[in-house]
Amino acid sequence: MSEDWIAVALGSGVLLVSLALVFASLPADYFTAHQQVDAAADEVTPPTASNPLASWFAKPGSWVRNPLDSVYQTDDVSLLIGIAGVFVATSALFAFAVWTQGLSVTHFSRAYPFVFLLALLAFTITKQEFITKYNLEYALWALLVGLLISNTIGTPAWLRPAVRTELYIKTGLVLYGAKVLLGTLAKLGLPGLCVAWIVTPVVLITTFWFGQRVLGMNSKSLNMVISADMSVCGVSAAIATASACRAKQQELSLAIGLSLSFTVIMMIALPAAATALGLSEYVGGAWIGGTIDSTGAVVAAGQWLGQTAAEVAITIKLIQNLLIGVTAFGVALYWVRYVDAEAKSNVNAWEIWHRFPKFVIGFLGASALFSAIQAWVPGGESIVAATIKQGSDPLRSWMFCLAFVSIGLDTDYRVLASTFGSGKPLILYVCGQSLNLILTLAMAWLVFGYLWHAV
């Protein structure tokens, strides 16, 4: 079984187990009560769903001076059990994946605790009060922790069996699909689609063309990964695109590094620019949601403009996230038809299927399933929230963090520096993001500020 299908199996299994536990713990009158609430004119508080996994999966909490406070929040509240629960669950899941691939479970099990501790360190740093204030997310610290080791003492051979970037991130992306709900399309309607689905492909195609024809970048895969990362939705799109065009690990690391660096800058600069330009919360929120790569940074930047701006920004970003699968398919199709065709005379539909990242199927399947539950099951919104927020979401965050640590551990800065030496990747990102900022602002003003005032 390929790694993509293993990721689909693991992610789907986690989601289905979490969903089953939520359904099993629902009150006997849950569905009846929600049906009565939907039919009643008076406001009645219906029962809410809960997940038995809530107390078993956790991330470190906030702290000021003592890092241990991130685990031992108060005398009565400790997150140690939740963190240990994540370790046990992920160890079992990924050990099973290693076994199905015919690799040594013993070697993986010896190395995995150390990679997990590095992810724990990254989460703990992120939760420090000052760092949290500036929304410097765990992805940045996880990448830096891994880079620090790989470029000083070097990543030891015994650790490499647990450096499984693609397995961690692909499984995490399948879980992430459950958060990308089709119902978000209705929140902003046609204006939201215009900002998220018209500007994004224009910027992606134009930036890739610019990199090839104007900058003359040698690596088409690096060009494509940077273009997708910057135009679609950041790291998730970069990983899906890298899989579709078979980009090197170093190229993916470079694209992610650029994305995370500019995310910090834009998170501060865009709210200030929106205020200086006198943009409404709808226009400013749409501009932020369509241009800042990280979802967490989108929320933080939107909140600086106001609650309405934050809601618009995150909705635009979630609508953009729906393009991950479309982008991966489009890149796979283009690569087989035009890039690989230069070296192969026989290109057919099987080649496209072989190139297409199969974990995207799990991502789209999870999105479709939980969108249907939210839309058609009485009390579905509460069921989906309990399944994701109290069950799969903590695991997803840990898997992403493990992936970023692994990227750092697997990246030789000397190789990265030689790739970056020409400055072309930086120029590509800056020019592409500048185009993205201009077109997104123009579209946001057109649809929210001129055509649909009452949205």
Note the pLDDT tens digit of each residue in 232-263. Answer: 877 888 888 988 888 888 888 888 888 877 88
Report the chain's mean pLDDT, rounded to a whole number.
87
> Residue range 359-366: average pLDDT?
88
16-18-20-25 Cα dihedral, nearest 10 degrees:
-170
Other Cβ atoms less than 10 A from the Cβ of 300: the count is 22
Range of the domain at 227: 3-42+53-451
Q: Is the pLDDT of residue 437 over 80?
A: yes
| 389 assigned to some structural domain | yes
Q: Is the pLDDT of residue 167 over 60?
A: yes
| 398 assigned to some structural domain | yes
User: pTM of the predicted model, to two decimals?
Assistant: 0.81
Write the pLDDT tens digit of every residue in 179-197: 888 877 777 778 888 888 8
Instruction: Name the residue with higher pLDDT: 322 or 212.
Output: 212
Query: How far is it, in rounded angstroms, from Cα 92 to Cα 197?
Result: 39
Instruction: Quote the pLDDT of residue 454.
Output: 44
Widest CA span in the chain: 68
> Residue range 108-132: average pLDDT?
94
What is the tally of structural domains in the chain? 1
Instruction: Quote the pLDDT of residue 117.
Output: 97
| Per-residue pLDDT band at 419 (split at 50, 70, 90) | low
| 284 assigned to some structural domain | yes
Q: Transcribe 222-248 into DSSP letters.
A: HHHHHHHIIIIITHHHHHHHHHHHT--
| 335 assigned to some structural domain | yes
Write the pLDDT tens digit of every residue in 370-413: 999 998 999 999 999 999 999 999 999 999 999 889 988 987 76
Highest mean pLDDT among 32-41, 213-222, 229-238, 333-342: 213-222
| 35 assigned to some structural domain | yes
In order of 199, 225, 322, 434, the CA distances from 196 in angstroms are: 6, 19, 9, 16
| 413 assigned to some structural domain | yes
Instruction: Quote the pLDDT of residue 41.
Output: 53
Q: Is the pLDDT of residue 272 over 70?
A: yes
Query: How far is it, in rounded angstroms, from Cα 313 to Cα 310?
Result: 5
| 431 assigned to some structural domain | yes
Q: Is the pLDDT of residue 345 over 50?
A: no
Write the pLDDT tens digit of every residue in 198-243: 999 999 999 999 999 999 998 899 999 999 999 987 788 888 898 8
| 48 assigned to some structural domain | no
Share of the chain above pLDDT 70, in %: 92
Q: Is the pLDDT of residue 125 over 50?
A: yes
